[in-house]
Amino acid sequence: MSVCGTTTPASRRYQQRMLVTMSLYLAVTLGVVTIVKHAHPHGWLLYAIALVPALPMLAMMGALGVYLQEEKDEYIRLITMRSLLAGTAGLLAVLVVNDVLRSISGAAALPAFTSWVLFFVVFGVAQAVQTIGNRVRDDA
């Protein structure tokens, strides 16, 4: 992760961890889909298998937490924390509006993984906005 165009030792380790967890997620999801398609598990076994791809996704959240603990540059850490707050707020706002629409007007639920994608999109946009707001001149 590069914050404000800066890569720190902690952010390099974060990138490595994210690469591992994302690769794991893709491999596990592919495996689970194949198993469900061909072996047709059901009942508690199906639930147990379906939960497996969630583990690397949770590990991604854990990697963010570890990054915040490891980041020594306090300004970069602040930018990341603000971006996480923006991502959380954006996600909650969309979910609560969707919940109200579903309960009152019978609107459909959001597609699967919307919350996951939405969180990281808002997180990324918030980082970009703050990066633009703190551009440094080359001659400074």
H helix intervals, 40-73: 44-51, 54-70
| 129: its two tokens | 């906005």
The verdict on 1 binding other proteins (CB under 8 A) reads no
Q: Select from 19, 78, 109, 121 the one that contacts other proteins (CB under 8 A).
A: 78
What's the min distance (Å) between Cβ of 78 and other proteins? 7
CA pair distance 42, 40, nearest whole angstrom: 6
* 74 lines the binding site for other proteins (CB under 8 A): yes
Burial of 14 (0-12, 13-18, 19+ CB in 10 A): buried
Binding characters for other proteins, 92-121, by CB under 8 A (x = yes): ------------------------------
Nearer to other proteins, 38 or 72 (CB): 72
